[in-house]
Structure 1
């Protein structure tokens, strides 16, 4: 007999939604990388690769924790943009909060400022929605 925890996760993760995970990671990495380039220049990506990647980690960790719990990769999410986009946006709200908390902690550099939070929150949500919309548009 499956435990209730296994059943909970089994209902929220469907193999058909796996391509969405790739789309989401690319969307978040792209928007965060754009911010890194905007503040530090494109050379920063090669001269400070570790620092660049550590900018992404808090938000990708937050996404990895929250998105399955919200159902961003459930069977419904794999069916249409109409289902997938709201799930991504709902997952992004607490995932971004986790990312902000991690950045504000001593574990990651960069800290947290309100304007940074607003920009990342909005840009991340728009990127997730836009990339998922484009995915379903191209998928047909």
Structure 2
């Protein structure tokens, strides 16, 4: 009895002090529960934890830094552009660099690389196999692209010279006679030397009658005047006023007549170039295309 009272007093003292009870003391308090068959092993985690010596509190591991917020698409684009070497180049050089890289990959893949000049000078009508329109650059390189129109201009000026010589008694001459070419030479040189620079062989020159007149009038006025000046220099004399007036009127008539006929057979377009009236040539091209596909 005295031993039990002493044990209870020791338990109260341990509870008041807040210390962890030892294994022996626990066995004293619970003799039945901690019998031989129920006594925990010294290697049991509970026993090890109870008998472990007290140590100062260890510092908790540092908290992991917060993960950065995901970048938006604009931020990623800005980051990529700032780290890219293209960002330090001007806009024009940047486009050229991208174009060169694209052409390189296209060649490696076996694709045809289209020249930038061909793209700028080409407009597609939207129907396969019918027509490819050349916009033109307002220079002499437009003449080979519009060879039919240029041939008609040359024939028109030769016809003007033939009519003039026939009016002066040379009625036996033809358009291939040397005298006809000699008379038409100053006007041919002036026309093909100046009119291409004024847009006479661009696409707008024959798009419709309105645009044809807008392009033809300044080209004719400058070229015809230059042709008369070249003729005066070649002959060494100033042409009479009547000849000047007749030459200006005649060249305007033959050139405008030929180009109006060209617009007629080629088809007239709207001012914005979106619509085009069908013509005989388009019908023939469509028929040929259908037969080839069939």
Aligned-partner SS, 1:41: coil
What is residue 262 of structure 2 aligned with on the other side?
135
Q: CA deviation at 1:17?
A: 3.4
**In the alignment, which residue of structure 2 is the partner of 1:113?**
240
In structure 2, distance between residues paired with 1:35 and 1:96: 15
- TM-score, L = length of structure 1: 0.78
Q: How does 1:81-100 map to 2 (within 5 A)?
A: 81-100=209-228
Q: Does 1:12 align with 2:129?
A: no
Matches within 5 A, 1:37-116: 37-45=166-174, 49-105=177-233, 107-108=234-235, 112-116=239-243
Deviation of 1:112 after TM superposition, in Å, equals 1.2
Q: Which runs of 5 or more residues in structure 2 are unaligned?
A: 1-135, 267-278, 280-294
SS at match of 1:11: coil
Alpha-carbon distance between aligned partners in 1 of 2:265 and 2:237, rounded to the nearest angstrom:
36
Q: Determine the structure 2 residue equivalent to 1:29.
A: 158
Report if aligned partners of 2:161, 2:184 keep a CA contact under 8 Å in 1. Answer: yes
Compare 114-123 and 83-92 and name the one that shifted more: 83-92
Contact 1:28 1:128 in 2 (8 A): yes
Point out the structure with the larger helix share. 1
CA distance change for structure 1 residues 112 and 76 in 2, over 3 Å: closer, same or farther? same
Give the 3 Å change call, closer, same or farther, for CA 35–20 of structure 1 in structure 2.
same
User: Structure 1 stretches of 5 or more lacking a match?
Assistant: 1-9
Give aligned pairs, total.
Answer: 130
Give the TM-score normalised by the residue count of structure 2. 0.40
Offset, 1:16: 5.1
Q: CA 1:23/1:109 → structure 2, altered by over 3 Å: closer, same or farther? A: farther
